[in-house]
């Protein structure tokens, strides 16, 4: 920029700088992140068209999930391995533990690991959102607007996820997952992650209609080392694959009629043993 | 009301979202009877059948588990595929506990002869290719 007389250009420059700061939410001099999500511009929406096409409905490769139980065993710590072996034995004997019968979310990473059901991936400015069909509220929000993780995130079922695009690969980092959620290898076999869980993913197309999620699961309280596994999904475009609502608890209620003649939901009476199966009891 | 309680308490198939390890996957039973209820629900639809072999005095209702409505739709089912009072023959994997229940393999509508596949494994394997019709 040419040197200009300060007294002539200072005020307009100041005005323009302030205007830019307001419009584009640049970081303040102190480096703090802005406190609002600014409205996306037309350019932001247009930029989504440059991303790889992850539209459609994605159905999982379950055969590969089962195969990996043998070909890619989880590096459990001894205490966790003993619990896992007990659950495997019980399931083989026809008494599977119902880790998810309470219909709480399968959570991260288990919904990527064990779901047999479809999912979809939505792109909006600054965000990738993943929604699953059925399986207790499968919903992940991955922030791609450059933000960091909060210093002390409230623990949640799916964690706090931030992502960035490296070419056509979405690299996602997830922390802040509730310690009670299972690191599961099936609906009957898994151990609570016990906290300090971190998941790094590289998600990308491996073919025109095949999506891979390469997971690195870092669970220092139950694993001897990070566990790497790839989960495979196939794209469906037929309308009969449209995601439908799937409320996990629906099957736990019966349709009956109350004394006023209203149709109502009434809980299914539980079997005599009462409590849902859980490990360690 | 009593009939509803009998249906609900028969077997554990009405519990949500569990493993199929509770079924004898290497055994098959064919049940012929009358539909008393068909619940088109998540996570598993449930077909309740009063077998012909049971007496009216003490009907042991069989609860047979199918897949989710989403998965079933993709293998040709709708919530109206089976209705109360339909006469059907169901092939199923029985519960290993010997309680009256099982996981559905196929349903034949006796009035028309139509066969509806309902194996969970089939529904799942069906999704393992792209661009299915």
Tell me: the pLDDT tens digits for B77-108?
Answer: 999 999 999 999 999 999 988 889 999 999 99
- Chain A: residue whose CA lies nearest to B6: A269
Q: For residues B73 and A117, what is the distance between their CA atoms, to the nearest angstrom?
A: 13
CATH number at residue A181: 2.40.128.20
Write phi, then psi, for B73 (nearest 5 degrees). -55, -35
Residues B7, B63 contacting (CB under 8 angstroms): yes
Residue B7 lies in a domain: yes
Residue A123 lies in a domain: yes
Neighbours of A276 (CB within 10 A): 17
What one-character-per-residue DSSP string does A214-238 give? EEEEE-TTTBSS-EEEEEEEEEE-S
Compute the radius of gyration of chain A from its Cα atoms. Answer: 24
Residue A274 is predicted with a pLDDT of 43
Question: What's the total number of domains in chain A?
Answer: 1
Question: What's the total number of domains in chain B?
Answer: 1
Neighbours of B97 (CB within 10 A): 14
Q: For residues A268 and A252, what is the distance between their CA atoms, to the nearest angstrom?
A: 5
Q: What is the pLDDT of residues B34-58, one digit of tens each?
A: 999 999 999 899 999 999 986 656 6
Whole-number average pLDDT of chain A = 88
Place of tokens 């609906």: A187
Place of tokens 């009957």: A188
Residues of A in contact with B61 (CB under 8 A): none
CA distances (Å), origin B46, targets B13, B40, B79: 8, 7, 11
Distance to chain B for A97, nearest Cα, Å: 8
A168 in B contact zone (CB under 8 Å): no
Q: For residues A211 and A203, what is the distance between their CA atoms, to the nearest angstrom?
A: 7
Number of H helices, E strands in chain B: 3, 6
Q: What is the pLDDT of residues A114-132, one digit of tens each?
A: 999 999 999 999 999 999 9
Residue B112 lies in a domain: yes
Place of tokens 């999904």: A233
Residue A84 lies in a domain: yes
A246 in B contact zone (CB under 8 Å): yes
What mean pLDDT comes out for the span B14-32?
Answer: 79
B12 in A contact zone (CB under 8 Å): yes
Which domain covers residue A194, as residue numbers?
57-241
Q: For residues A16 and A11, what is the distance between their CA atoms, to the nearest angstrom?
A: 9
- Chain B: residue whose CA lies nearest to A185: B19
pLDDT > 50? residue A83: yes
pLDDT > 90? residue A12: no
Residue A195 lies in a domain: yes
CATH number at residue B80: 2.40.50.140
The answer to whether A59 contacts B127, with C-beta atoms less than 8 Å apart, is: yes
Q: Strand, helix or coil at A163?
A: strand
pLDDT > 60? residue A137: yes
Compute the radius of gyration of chain B from its Cα atoms. Answer: 14
pLDDT band at A277 (very low <50, low <70, confident <90, very high): very low
Residues of A in contact with B8 (CB under 8 A): 254, 268-269
Considering the entire predicted model, what is its pTM?
Answer: 0.84
pLDDT > 90? residue A72: yes
Residue B16 lies in a domain: no
> Residue A11 carries which DSSP code?
H
Residue B102 lies in a domain: yes
Residue A103 lies in a domain: yes
- Chain B: residue whose CA lies nearest to A132: B70
Residue B91 lies in a domain: yes
pLDDT band at B125 (very low <50, low <70, confident <90, very high): confident
Q: For residues A77 and A74, what is the distance between their CA atoms, to the nearest angstrom?
A: 9
Residue A11 lies in a domain: no
User: Which one of B5, B12, B15, B16 would you mutate to disrupt binding with A, by most A Cβ within 10 Å of its Cβ?
Assistant: B16
Residue B132 is predicted with a pLDDT of 87
Q: What is the pLDDT of residues A207-235, one digit of tens each?
A: 999 999 999 999 999 999 999 999 999 99
The answer to whether A269 contacts B129, with C-beta atoms less than 8 Å apart, is: no
Residues of B in contact with A103 (CB under 8 A): 16-17
Sign of CA dihedral A80, A86, A92, A98: negative
What mean pLDDT comes out for the span A73-83?
Answer: 98
| Size of the A and B interface in Cβ pairs below 8 Å | 130
CA distances (Å), origin A89, targets A86, A188, B97: 5, 11, 16
What mean pLDDT comes out for the span B108-129?
Answer: 88
Which domain covers residue B64, as residue numbers?
2-11+23-126
Residues 6+ apart with CB under 8 A from B43: A134, A135, A246, A248, A251, B16, B17, B68
Residues 6+ apart with CB under 8 A from A39: none
Place of tokens 């005095």: B57
* Residue A166, Cβ density class (10 Å: 0-12 exposed, 13-18 middle, ≥19 buried): exposed
Residue B22 is predicted with a pLDDT of 85
């Amino acid at each position: 920029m040419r040197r200009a007389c300060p007294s002539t250009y200072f005020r307009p420059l100041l005005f323009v700088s302030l205007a830019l700061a307001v419009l584009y939410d640049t970081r303040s001099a102190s480096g703090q992140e802005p406190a609002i999500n600014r409205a996306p511009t037309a350019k932001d929406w247009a930029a989504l068209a440059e991303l790889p096409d992850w539209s459609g409905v994605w159905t999982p490769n379950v055969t590969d999930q089962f195969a990996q139980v043998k070909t890619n065993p989880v590096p459990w710590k001894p205490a966790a391995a003993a619990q896992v072996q007990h659950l495997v034995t019980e399931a083989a004997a026809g008494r599977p533990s119902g880790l998810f019968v309470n219909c709480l979310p399968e959570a991260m990473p288990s919904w990527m690991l064990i779901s047999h059901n479809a999912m979809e991936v939505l792109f909006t400015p600054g965000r990738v959102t993943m929604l699953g069909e059925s399986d207790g509220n499968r919903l992940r929000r991955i922030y791609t607007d450059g933000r960091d993780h909060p210093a002390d995130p409230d623990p949640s079922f799916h964690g706090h996820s931030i992502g960035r695009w490296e070419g056509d690969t979405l690299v996602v980092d997830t922390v802040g997952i509730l310690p009670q959620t299972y690191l599961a290898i099936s609906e009957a076999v898994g151990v609570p992650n016990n906290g300090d869980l971190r998941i790094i993913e590289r998600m990308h197309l491996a073919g025109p209609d095949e999506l891979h999620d390469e997971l690195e699961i870092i669970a220092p309280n139950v694993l001897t080392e990070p566990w790497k596994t790839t989960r495979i999904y196939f794209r469906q475009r037929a309308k009969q694959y449209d995601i439908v609502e799937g409320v996990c608890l629906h099957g736990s209620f019966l349709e009956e009629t109350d004394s006023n003649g209203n149709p109502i939901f009434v809980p299914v009476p539980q079997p005599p043993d009462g409590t849902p199966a859980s490990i360690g009891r | 009301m009593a009939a509803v309680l009998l249906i609900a308490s028969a077997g554990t198939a009405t519990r949500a979202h569990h493993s199929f390890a509770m079924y004898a996957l290497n055994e098959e039973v064919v049940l012929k009877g009358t539909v008393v209820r068909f619940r088109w629900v998540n996570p598993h639809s449930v077909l309740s059948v009063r077998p012909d072999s049971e007496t009216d005095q003490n009907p042991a209702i069989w609860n047979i588990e199918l897949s989710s409505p989403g998965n079933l739709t993709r293998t040709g089912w709708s919530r109206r595929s089976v209705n109360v009072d339909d006469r059907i023959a169901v092939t199923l994997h029985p519960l290993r506990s010997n309680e009256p229940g099982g996981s559905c393999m196929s349903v034949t509508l006796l009035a028309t002869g139509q066969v509806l596949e309902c194996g969970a494994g089939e529904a799942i394997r069906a999704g393992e290719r792209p661009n299915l019709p």
